[in-house]
Structure 1
Amino acid sequence: MVLDRLMKDAGSGPLGLYATVSREWQRLIEQHNFSRISVNAERLASFSSCVSPRTQPYVKYIWFCWELEEYECCACAPEEELDEMPVDSPSRDDNLRIKTALETFFGLLSKWAPAGDLVLDISVHSPSDSEHWFRHLSFEPDATMDREKVEKLEFGDDEGSKKKCQRRRDLVPSPESIISTVFGKIVDRRTFESNAEEARWWRELPSVPAVTGVLLRQQTRRRWNPRSLGRMFSRFPRLQEIHYEPWREWDRYEQKATEKDYESLLESVAFANPQVRRITLFENFNESYADALITGHPRSEAFQCDTSRIPSAAVGRLVAQASLELEHLSVSFMVDAGSFLAACHGNSSWTWPRLKTLTLTTQVFVPGVDALRPIARILERAAAAARKMPRLETLHIWNGREGLAASFRYQASPPSITWRGTWPHTLRHDVVYPWKEVVYDRDPDAQLAVHHEAIDKRFVMKSHADAVHYLNLPAAVIRPVSLQQIRLDDRVRAERRAVERQYMLNLIAYGSGLGVDPAVPMV
């Protein structure tokens, strides 16, 4: 009881001192202290001495958090310095440092003997990201943020950073140049002389059998090349779980290239990591970024940003094929359930002997008469696929964006299907009957329950993150800390709109002779 209390209050003092009380306390305290560790540029040099062979089996989670060079903001930098501002983040020097750090880090981890599960969480960011335009951004280890920290982030922490924009320009839409900065490429083609050299470099990295899970969360807005990730994952021969939360590409042509790289990633995992049993892919986005980029390039043929993402059918087919040996699969926005289920429908011999949970998104879940038949077709094909998933426990198909949210849920025990959404939709007989057959295959005496649930109209869907929350989707869809960060981003965006609206009202009032100065504080 004493030890439990000490560990719960670990933030109040140096818990490591209690390890000197006795051998028993040393073992238990070290298990707690070493279960989750973080590694950055400063700690990497002393990493091997900090984690001994005796304490290495205690480590279950490593957060590799790499900080890039700081950069100036065009809103607060002196005009004479603008020409000296770095255009790219990461810079070429940054990428070379990441490359060297990975060589060192993989070399150290390669000496670890496999000891249960070990999750490697990789994040890359610049301290300047949250000092200029994106003050609300946070960079956290993979853990649910406590209430105090959430409130601190939401209501501002002016004491937490010494360097802030002086013009509060974070209250207006971010320009395309700043958005492009935080979405730079990690270890890109500038780091290597050729694709062959890059492939050889990944291939020569030491194998790390201790790692069983990889997290790449949405707080890393800079982009890993999916093809490179496939090569990285091949260095983990015991990899069982992949959780990847990339951001969508903003340029239409870049998106097509990235989709080809997604295909390469999926093929690589199937070939080099056949033991993987859990895959989560959550492609994040922010409508305000797309709006800002479209506004910044209204007629440019060199840059074309689509308002909404159009998923690739080819990637959908490969995800469907990759799911055959999985136990858990969740794919949001990267592919559409329609292409996934079409691939399943076109390959009648496919079966999923291990699959327990399946979560997909689809753009056909929208209100309106025209959507009724596409929704029914998706759900009918989902039932046909579920009949070849003998261990399936839950299936979710959902859609969410600003203003709408809807989901279809099947659960095996007790048997039920549920429609939940921001608009009424009735599951008709032609949809319900195939799911009755799914239930009958398992238990001829079981009865299927059909539910319809409405989301309270008081809940406003500011984005897909609100949809995840109010649809009660499973936690495996996205990491809890990522969901919190996206919802915080939504709140900031709502505040920006309120400021802009008030500013326009002030201008109108001032112009109509009501004597309201548009320069008065708007918040």
Structure 2
Amino acid sequence: MACWNSLPQEIRSAILGCVLVHDHIAPYAPVSIEWRDAIEEKIFRRLCIQAPSSDALGSTPMVFHRLSRLCDRRRRLVKHIYVELITRNGSESLEHGVYMSVAITWLFHSLQSWPAQDDLTLEINMLETMNFSAEWLKRHHVGGPREQDADLSRLSNSQLESFVMGFSNSARSSFASFAFKLQVCPSVQAVTRFLLPRQCRRRVEAVTISCILERLPRLEEISLETWDVSEIYVDDHINRFAPHLFSHPEHFKNVKSMTVFQDRNEPLNAAIHRQRDEYRRRFPRPILSREVSCHRPVLAREIAVASLSLENLSLSFFVDALDFFGQCREDCLWADLRSLTLTSRLLTCNGDSVKIHGLLQTAARMAKRMPKLERLIIWNGGANEACAFTYRKQQHIASVTWQAKGGTKLNPQVYSTWENLHSGCLFKVEEKDTWHSITSQVAAIMCLGLEHVVDHVSLRQMQLEDSTP
């Protein structure tokens, strides 16, 4: 189109920029090759695929046929494939597993002919139709009677019993676990990053994640986001990640970055705990302890071994830093590790200073086995809590920063231990106070500047939920 091409490049770019901010712009692609390329780059950059469970009993859905038939030029434009697997509310766990297995097999067959790429993310979300309802728009409310009333004692016994049982059952359904295996499923060379997002509230078992990862041989980055459901389930399904996932080093041979984040689920856990306490007060009976230990030494040991070839590792509320360092063998060497982020429940404003100092000095000793280390962070955060210890090194400058609420100080010996890591470097120490009010886990993350510990979309979702009255 001569008229278009005769315009100066800066004017053409400005016009295209105005066009690309809008949706539904595909009809304008024929204007010129430049328009086509720019519009296709936007449209194909992130593909969103919905696969309802009703499709599982029939032939391969058309969306997967279209995915497999994309031309090479458009395949190269795709940077993110988001797959939403939707099941019916109330379906049996076995039915869920069959459907998920079939859907992912269809997906992988569609992608098996795609050439190897350098930056393609596969994100899989698994949810039930009930999760579309308004109950999730109000801080995990489940629509029970008087659930916004802080004084549960004003409910009658029958109302309370019905409320607590309904609330608990709904929460258990939403966060239920499921597993499946992939029988005849091809490998996919194109995918380099796998993301299981926080919005997938179903607890995907480690054996299932393992089946998926072993069919993605060129993975370079893994991001797993889970939920703390300790008030809902007695079993700690996270411990099953040790034998079924992290004990398989073949899954991580090409992986350079791994991020695991557990949402502490504070509003829902607090609500269930409060309701259960009121219920027990009204209806006394012997009750088994529901406490789930935050110490996972076996899991920590497997992760420590699996992480030896990584460049970046971030574990938030998955294993404690104390367990991670405690399970490292004497001969462990992280030859390429550049960034390490861990959490520890020891780091609190009113915590045991001796234990905190011991942990940070242990971390300094472990850092000696990480010759390329540029950043190490140990932190803790939640409602009314935000603490972080950060070590950074760039060329001949090293620094440590301590952030804690209320001006809590560290023992000078801790700083000396870290200074001795690099005796020839300029060493800086900085101590910062945190925000006066820390209302939630996401508020702590933002206060401490730790946005990298969770996917950016999940972080935004957490902020939106936290801002809901």
> Normalising by the residue count of structure 1, what TM-score does the alignment of the two structures yield?
0.75
Equivalent positions of 1:98-497 (< 5 A) are 98-136=100-138, 171=148, 175-186=167-178, 188=179, 201-202=181-182, 204-250=184-230, 255-268=235-248, 270-294=249-273, 295-296=275-276, 298=280, 305-306=290-291, 310-344=294-328, 347-368=329-350, 371-413=352-394, 414-440=397-423, 444=424, 446-457=425-436, 460-473=437-450, 475-492=451-468, 495=469
SS of the counterpart of 2:415? helix
- Using the alignment, how far apart are the partners of 1:380 and 1:433 within structure 2? 9
What SS class does the counterpart of residue 228 from structure 1 fall into?
helix
- How many residue pairs match? The answer is 426
Shift of 1:362: 0.3
1:64 match: 83
SS in 2 for 1:246: strand
> What is the CA deviation profile of residues 239-273 of structure 1, one whole-angstrom value per residue up to 9, with x for unaligned ones?
110000011243697534540334421112x2233
Structure 1 residues not aligned, in runs of 5+: 72-85, 139-163, 189-197, 496-523
- Structure 2: runs of 5 or more not aligned: 1-9, 53-59, 151-163
- Contact 1:134/1:170 (CA < 8 Å) preserved in 2? no
For 1:449 and 1:171, locate their aligned partners in 2 and report how far apart those are by CA, in whole Å: 49
Matched to 1:35, the amino acid is R
Do the aligned partners of residues 419 and 15 (structure 1) sit closer, same or farther apart at CA in structure 2, a change above 3 Å counting?
same
Q: Which residue type is aligned with residue 440 of structure 2?
A: S
Query: 1:32 Cα deviation (Å)?
Result: 2.7
The answer (yes or no) to whether the contact 1:353–1:389 under 8 Å persists in 2 is: yes
CA displacement, residues 3-62 of structure 1 (integer Å, 9 cap, x when unaligned): 465356535353223321223432343223211111112795234336333311211110
- The aligned counterpart of 2:57 is none
Q: How does 1:496-507 map to 2 (within 5 A)?
A: none
Q: What is the Cα deviation at residue 132 of structure 1?
A: 4.4
Looking at structure 1, the residues matched to 96 and 299 of structure 2 have their Cα atoms a distance apart, in angstroms, of: 31
Check conservation: 2:231, 2:272, Cα contact below 8 A.
no
Q: 3-state DSSP class of the match of 1:14?
A: coil
* TM-score normalized with structure 2 length: 0.83
Report the Cα distance in structure 2 between the residues aligned to 1:13 and 1:464, rounded to whole angstroms: 34
Name the CA distance, whole Å, in 2 between partners of 1:335 and 1:328.
Answer: 16
Q: Is the 8 A contact 1:365 1:406 kept in 2?
A: yes
- Partner AA of 1:30 in structure 2: E
C-alpha distance in 2, partners of 1:309/1:4?
A: 57
Q: Is the 8 A contact 1:60 1:119 kept in 2?
A: yes
**Equivalent residue number for residue 83 of structure 1:** none
**Are 1:249 and 1:255, in contact at CA under 8 Å, matched by a contact in 2?**
no
Identify the residue that residue 153 of structure 2 maps to in structure 1: none
- 2:77 and 2:106 map into 1 onto residues whose CA distance is 21
Q: Supply the distance in 2 between the matched residues of 1:14 and 1:65 (Cα, whole angstroms).
A: 21
SS at match of 2:226: coil
Tell me, in whole angstroms, the C-alpha distance in 2 between the residues paired with 1:5 and 1:13. 15
Tell me the alpha carbon deviations over residues 160-193 of structure 1, each in whole angstroms, 9 at most, x when there is no partner.
xxxx96x88663588111111211234x3xxxxx
Mapped contact 1:404–1:461 kept (Cα < 8 A): yes
Give the CA deviation at 1:486.
2.2
Deviation at 1:204?
2.8
CA gap of 1:384–1:53, structure 2 versus 1, over 3 A, is same
Partner residue, 1:96: 98
SS in 2 for 1:448: strand
- For residues 334 and 449 of structure 1, the distance between their equivalents in structure 2, rounded to whole angstroms, comes to 30
1:30 aligns with 2:40: yes
CA contact (8 A) 2:137 2:465 kept: no
What pairs with 1:42-53 in structure 2 (closer than 5 Å)?
A: 44-49=61-66, 51-53=70-72
